[in-house]
Amino acid sequence: MAGYAAVQLLTWSSTTWPVASAAILLPFSIQSALTVQRCAWSNGAAVSGNVDCGIYNEDGTRVVSLGSTAQAGVNSVQTATLSASLVAGSYFMALALDNTTGTILATAPASASIGRCVGIQWATTFFPLGATATFANPTNAYIPQFCLGLQTTI
């Protein structure tokens, strides 16, 4: 039928980080000023080493990051305080692990090209998250489950 889009349901599973010290950056846009209050990610069946979470402008300039944080809590959501004010615009939220032993809930699309189509970027040898990201197209079909806690700025 015309007007209906095909939807791929995502399956999330506990998956090791694909490349040690690589950051995966997911694009997002906001229409008005917001305050970032926290970031969160879903740990899988094994925790190991350290995680960093942050936000980057479209040009790859870091807005804010946690810094190296111990991955803790098997099969649970881990949250951390992350504070920044964002103006309307486009950004990337970034997640990085310093090893390939720790697991994060992730989904594996049919190919890495799907990630490229939706604007996902990678930054290799990027732990902890640096001041400026050099974006690269993803070579792995891997999308981690993580998010930001945002509040409208009045």
Report residue 112's pLDDT band, with 50, 70 and 90 as the boundaries.
Answer: confident
pLDDT tens for 46-75 read 999 999 999 999 999 999 999 999 999 999
Nearest partner of 97 among 123, 73, 117, 119, judged by Cα: 123
Question: Is residue 7, in this structure, part of any structural domain at all?
Answer: no
The pTM score is 0.90
CATH number, residue 113:
2.60.120
Question: How many structural domains are present in the chain?
Answer: 1
Query: For residue 113, what is the enclosing H or E element?
Result: helix 112-117
Domain with 125 in it = 14-152
Q: Is 58 left (phi over 0), alpha (psi -120 to 50) or beta?
A: alpha
Nearest partner of 132 among 62, 43, 74, 42, judged by Cα: 62
Question: Is residue 67, in this structure, part of any structural domain at all?
Answer: yes
Question: Is residue 4, in this structure, part of any structural domain at all?
Answer: no
Phi, psi of 112, rounded to the nearest 5 degrees: -60, -25
